[in-house]
């Protein structure tokens, strides 16, 4: 388990763009599970949409990427002086809306690591139902 303080040691993201609240499971080299608590205080809800707040899909994908980044940084000896760069998204699908009060459970599985490119397949769930899924790619560079 990792709390927000440990996540902040690993990721450079900060409010309002730090989108992972907790890591609840890590199986090195295989998978990671993280949580994102969605509140009405998210800045995006001012405009998306004030009368019917829905978390934008792109933020769900970013949360998935951040969970994958935590996983790669802790599973491999990448080093703490590295920053992750999102380099690709494939097969992204959005299945259900995510609203304030929801907790997103993000499950990411490592598919491969080739030439410094990490590929993850992931799904995001709310109340046991898939809300989004995607295949994500990232690499790491010096800060």
Catalytic sites, residue numbers: 48
Peptide bond into 127 cis (omega under 30): no
- CB count in 10 Å sphere of residue 85: 12
DSSP 46: G
Contact (Cβ atoms closer than 8 angstroms) between residue 47 and residue 55? no
Nearest-5° angle of CA 5, CA 8, CA 9?
Answer: 90
């Amino acid at each position: 388990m990792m709390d927000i303080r440990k996540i902040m040691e690993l990721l450079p993201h900060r409010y309002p763009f730090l989108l992972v609240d907790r890591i609840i499971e890590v199986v090195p080299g295989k998978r990671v599970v993280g949580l994102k608590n969605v509140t009405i205080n998210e800045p995006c809800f001012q405009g998306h949409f004030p009368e019917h707040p829905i978390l934008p899909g792109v933020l769900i994908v970013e949360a998935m990427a951040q969970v994958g980044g935590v996983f790669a940084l802790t599973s491999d000896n990448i080093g703490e002086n590295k920053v992750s760069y999102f380099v690709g998204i494939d097969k992204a699908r959005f299945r259900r809306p995510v609203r304030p009060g929801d907790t997103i459970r993000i499950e990411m599985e490592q598919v491969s690591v080739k030439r410094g490119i990490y590929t993850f397949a992931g799904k995001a769930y709310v109340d046991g139902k898939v809300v989004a899924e995607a295949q994500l790619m990232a690499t790491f560079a010096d800060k």
